[in-house]
Amino acid sequence: MRVDPSTIVSRPAVEPASARLTAVIVTYKSTRTIGAALASARRCAEAGVMRTIVVDNASPDATRGILAREAAPFATVVHSHGNIGFGRGCNVGLALVETPFAVFFNPDAVMEPQAAKTIADFMDATPRCAVAGPAIHRDDGAGCQHVGALARPSDIVGDAMGLYLSMKRRQPMTPGGAPFRTDWVSGAMLVGRTEALRSLGGFDPRFFLYWEETDLCKRVLDAGHEIWAIPGAEVHHVGGVSAAEESKGRIKGCIPEHFYKSRQYYLRKHYGVLAATAAELAEVVLMPLHEGARALLGKPAKPALDRLRAPILRTPAPVPDV
């Protein structure tokens, strides 16, 4: 697993010896939300169920000051030597994890001690599970985030036509329900078996932002491991805060420059250049036609020109060795 240059700024004097779970929180311009995330992680530490590692990607705002005041007393704090992206930041933290399980969560997410214990107990009892996801309550009032289908090239074409095939293959999370197997869980709060993730090389560093957890889930399944949803572990997620700081021209709440490059790379990596290229070209042609037809019929329509201004058939640059 490739580990980027970083500096460990502080380690806590004492960590909960009984913890089987370590939180890895990657921050970048996270002043608006990191306080709540750290407060919840501290409660988990005080309950003896979770350790915490925070990796800051050279935030230019007040994030590092907040970490020095609020994280250092109970968490390991690491400074990356630049904004290396979410997945690479997670790999920095994963390299330092000493517990059997790690949970990667966004700086705008919150986990309480009972959820951490539920996750660790489930992972202990399910040895074939390499990745799992809790029930993520979205603070926008839209309920819990779905889990389920891995994206395929045909899904890109179907979405451009308004069919939303991948969403129809998603599975709802009912808080408190029984765990079930699935193919994909959200990267906003993703749990992994430490040794299994390391054996797979962690997150692919070429994904700067978006699709890194989809790629990881695909590789986990291809390696013969299992992915589970754990509805009994309930967490909260604000969503899109760091992306909002970075770009005002978002599409579907995402920064287009990163979203479409990462998606094209994911499709090429797992389905081949021909299928990935055909899917994206079909989207570029079909989406304006579909949205134009909706507008003519007086139905709500998305601005198709936004997609045409976003990257087309481009992938992230390879990550140089250091």
Chain segment 256-289, per-residue pLDDT in tens: 999 999 999 999 999 999 999 999 999 999 998 9
| CATH 3.30.499.10 fits domain 6-246 | no
pLDDT at position 244: 47
Mean pLDDT of 293-301: 89
CA distance linking residue 200 with residue 47, whole number of Å:
31
Mean pLDDT of 102-121: 97
So where are the chain's domains?
6-246, 256-309
Confidence of residue 198 (pLDDT cuts 50, 70, 90): very high
pLDDT at position 313: 98
Q: Reply yes or no on whether the pLDDT at 245 is more than 70.
A: no
Mean pLDDT of the chain: 93
pLDDT at position 246: 53
pLDDT at position 203: 98
CA distance linking residue 313 with residue 65, whole number of Å:
40
pTM (two decimals): 0.94
CA distance linking residue 203 with residue 210, whole number of Å:
11
Confidence of residue 141 (pLDDT cuts 50, 70, 90): confident
Mean pLDDT of 290-314: 89
CA distance linking residue 212 with residue 217, whole number of Å:
9
Q: Could you tell me the CA-to-CA distances from 274 to 75, 152, 211, 281 in Å, in that order?
A: 46, 13, 19, 11
76-80 and 129-138 strand pairing: unpaired
